[in-house]
Amino acid sequence: MRRRFTVASAMVGAVALMTLAGCTTDPSVTDSSEAPESSEEASVEWFDQALFDKQNAERTVVPEGPDGQPWLQTINAELVDTAQFASTGPKKACFANASISNPWRQTGWITMNQQLKVLQDAGVISEMETRDAQDSDDTQIADIDYFIDEGNCDIFLISPNSTAAMTPAVERACDTGKPVVVFDRGVQTDCPVTFIHPIGGFAWGIDTAEFLIDNLEKGDKVVALRILPGVDVLEQRWAAAEKLFDEAGIEAVDYFTGADPAEIKKIISDELAKGDVKGIWMDAGDGAVAAIEAFEDAGADYPVMTGEDEMSFLRKWKETGLTGLAPVYSNFQWRTPLLAAQKIFAGEQVPVEWVLPQSPITAEEVDQYLALNEGMPDGHYAKFGGEDLPGYPQVWEDRVIP
C-alpha cells in the first residue's frame, strides 16, 4: 500500500515535471502576445450595464444600407479600410463552424450555402471548406489550427463555439495575415477584420421584458424558460430581462429546459399547479408550442408570451390568438460573412463591428411572415432572409443540409 502511494505520487510528480518542462520547449506555434487583457471574464455576472445601454440605444437606430436587404445593413458602423486584402480572382473560404445542432443554426447553415452558390457563380469564392466542431471548443480549436496548416485558405470565417475559449485560436488565425471574419458569438480580441452579429442578447431581453411588463400587472408571475446555462448570447437575454422584471415588480422564475418540450410541459404544468402563471418568457423559441399546450391541457387562460421567430411558435400564436411577441435573433446574419468576404476582397470598407438589425415580429406582422413562409417546416425561422437566393423555397422546405 505504501508502494501505491509511492507510485501515485511519483506519477503526479513526473507529470507535473513534464508539464513544467513542456513550457520551456520551443514555441514553434506562436501564440499571440496578448494575455492579460481577458481578466474581466473572471466575473460570473452576465449583466453589463455599458453593453445594456449600448444595445438599448441600438434598438432605435435606423440601420444604414440597402433597403430590403437587412443582411447588408449596419447600425452605428465604424468602418475599417480593407485595401490591403484587395485581390482579384476566386478565393477559398475556410469556415470553422461551431455546430449545426439546433434548428436556428441549421436554417442559417442552409442559407449560407445558398449564398455561397451565388458568390461561386459570381467568381468571388472558389470553394468553401467547412469543418464542423459539433459543439466542442477543443475540436474547433483543432479545426482552426488545421485550416492554418493545411487549409490553403484565403479567408477564415469563424462562428465561435464559445467566446473566451476560442480567443487564442482566432488570434492564431489572425496571425497568418489572412482576413478573419467572426460572426454570431464573438471573441475577446479585435484582431478579426469584422465581427458580424445582430444587436445582441440584451436587446432581446429588453424587447421581450418590456412587452411582458406592458401587458402584465405588477406582481404577476412570469415563467422564464431557458435552454442551458453558460452560453453568453443566451445568458445576456436573461440578464437584461431579469433586471427589467425586477425593476417592474414582475415575479419571474427561471428554469433550464434543454429545449426539451416534454421538460417544458412538465415545468409549466407544475407552475400552473402552484398558482396562476400570467406570462411566459423564453430565451429561444424551441418548445414554445409545448408551453402553450400545457396551458391548454390544464384548462388555464393563455399567457402573455414571448417566443422566437421559429415557425412552430408563429403558427401556434396565430392559431390561439394569444398576446405574443416573437423576438428575433436575426437568422439572416448567416449570409453576411460571405458577403463581407466579397467586400474585403474588393477592398471595400467594412464595419469593425458589423451590427445587423434585429427587430421582433409583432402581432401586426405575424400574418405577413406566416404567408411568406408558408410550407416551411416548423423548425424554420421566419427572418431567415433567403427569399432572393437560388433554391428558394424548395431547399429550405426540404431542409437540404450539405
Partner 1 sequence: MTAATELRPSAGQRLAGLARTLISPRGAVFLLLVLLLVAIAVLNPSFAEPSQFIRFIQRVAPVAIVAIGQYFVIVGGEFDLSMGSVVTAQVVIAGNLIGQDESKALPVLALMLGFGAVIGLVNGLIVSFLKVPSFIVTLGMMLALLGAVLYWTGGAATGNPADGFREIGRGGIRGIPVIDILPWSVVILVVVLALAVWFARRPFGRTIIALGDNPTTARFSGTRSWWVKTSTFMISSLSATVAGVLLVGYAGVHPSVGRGYEFTAITAVVLGGVVLGGGRGWVVAAAAGAFALEALFTLLNFAGVPSTYRDAVQGAIIILAVAYSATTFRARRRGRALEAPVVPPPGAPPPAAAPETSPASGAKTDDSPETPATPAPIPSTQRADNETKGGS
Partner 2 sequence: MSTATPTARRRRGRLDSSLVVGIALVVVIAIGAVLVATVGRNFFSPGNIRDILTGMSVLGFVAIGQTLVVLCASLDLSVLYVISLSSLIAADLMAGNPANIPLALAASLGVAGLIGLANGLIVTKLKVNGFIATLGTGLIIKGFLDSNYKGTSGDVPMEFRLIGATGLGPVPVSTILMLAVAVLVWLFLSRTRTGHHIYAVGGNEQVARLSGIRTARPVIVAHVLCSMSAALAGLLLASRSGVGNPTFGAQGGYDLLSIAAVVLGGTLLLGGRGSVWGTIGGVAIFAVVDNVMSVMQVNPFLKDVVRGIVIVAAVAVYASRSVERRRPRFDGGGAPPPAPSPATAEPAASAEPASAEGGVR
Contacts to partner 1 by CB under 8 A: 100-103, 106, 110, 229, 254-256, 258-262, 264-267, 269-271, 273-274, 286-287, 289-290, 293, 297-298, 312, 377-380, 398-401
Stretch that binds partner 2, among 137-145, 213-221, 269-277, 327-335 (CB under 8 A): 137-145
- 50: buried, middle or exposed (CB in 10 Å: 19+, 13-18, 0-12)? exposed
How far is Cα 130 from Cα 127, in angstroms, rounded to an integer?
A: 10
Cα-based distances in Å from 147 to 95, 98, 124, 141, 158: 9, 14, 20, 10, 11
Rounded to the nearest whole angstrom, what is the least distance from the CB of residue 175 to partner 2 in the complex? 12
Residue 220 makes contact with partner 2 by CB under 8 A: no
Residue 229 makes contact with partner 2 by CB under 8 A: yes
265 binds, among partner 2, partner 1, none (CB under 5 to 8 A by kind): partner 1
Residue 150 makes contact with partner 2 by CB under 8 A: yes
Stretch that binds partner 2, among 43-51, 210-218, 350-358, 378-386 (CB under 8 A): 43-51
Residues 6+ apart with CB under 8 A from 190: 352
Q: What are phi and psi of 347, to 5 degrees?
A: 75, 15
Most distant CA atoms of the chain, gap in Å: 77
Interface pick for partner 2 out of 111, 161, 194, 330 (rule CB under 8 A): 161
Chain positions 354 to 383 lying near partner 2, rule: CB under 8 A, are none
Q: What's the number of CA atoms in the CB half-sphere (13 Å) around residue 32?
A: 19
Nearer to partner 2, 102 or 359 (CB): 102
319 binds, among partner 1, partner 2, none (CB under 5 to 8 A by kind): none
Nearer to partner 2, 225 or 288 (CB): 225
How far is Cα 79 from Cα 64, in angstroms, rounded to an integer?
A: 12
Rounded to the nearest whole angstrom, what is the least distance from the CB of residue 135 to partner 1 in the complex? 13
Joined together, the cell numbers standing for residue 305 give 408570451
Nearer to partner 1, 214 or 260 (CB): 260
Rounded to the nearest whole angstrom, what is the least distance from the CB of residue 262 to partner 1 in the complex? 4
Taking a C-beta distance cutoff of 8 angstroms, is the pair 348, 72 a contact?
no
Rounded to the nearest whole angstrom, what is the least distance from the CB of residue 105 to partner 1 in the complex? 8
Q: What's the number of CA atoms in the CB half-sphere (13 Å) around residue 238?
A: 24
Rounded to the nearest whole angstrom, what is the least distance from the CB of residue 103 to partner 2 in the complex? 13
Interface pick for partner 2 out of 99, 102, 215, 320 (rule CB under 8 A): 99
Q: What are phi and psi of 224, to 5 degrees?
A: -100, 125
Rounded to the nearest whole angstrom, what is the least distance from the CB of residue 269 to partner 1 in the complex? 7
Nearer to partner 2, 7 or 83 (CB): 7
Taking a C-beta distance cutoff of 8 angstroms, is the pair 133, 143 a contact?
yes
Closest CA to 325 of 203, 212, 200: 212
Q: State the number of binding residues for partner 2 (CB under 8 A).
A: 70
| Terminal Cα distance for the chain, rounded | 57
Nearer to partner 1, 13 or 229 (CB): 229
The amino acid present at 225, given as its one-letter code, is L
289 binds, among partner 2, partner 1, none (CB under 5 to 8 A by kind): partner 1
DSSP assignment of 69-93, as one string?
-GGG-BSS--EE--GGG---S-EEE
Nearer to partner 2, 8 or 372 (CB): 8
How far is Cα 300 from Cα 313, in angstroms, rounded to an integer?
A: 19
Taking a C-beta distance cutoff of 8 angstroms, is the pair 209, 238 a contact?
no
Rounded to the nearest whole angstrom, what is the least distance from the CB of residue 351 to partner 1 in the complex? 31
Residues at the contact surface with partner 2, assessed by CB under 8 A? 1, 3-4, 7-8, 10-12, 14-16, 18-20, 22-23, 25-29, 31, 35-36, 38-39, 41-42, 44-46, 99-101, 129-132, 134-139, 141-143, 145-146, 148-150, 161-169, 172, 229-232, 235, 256, 401-402
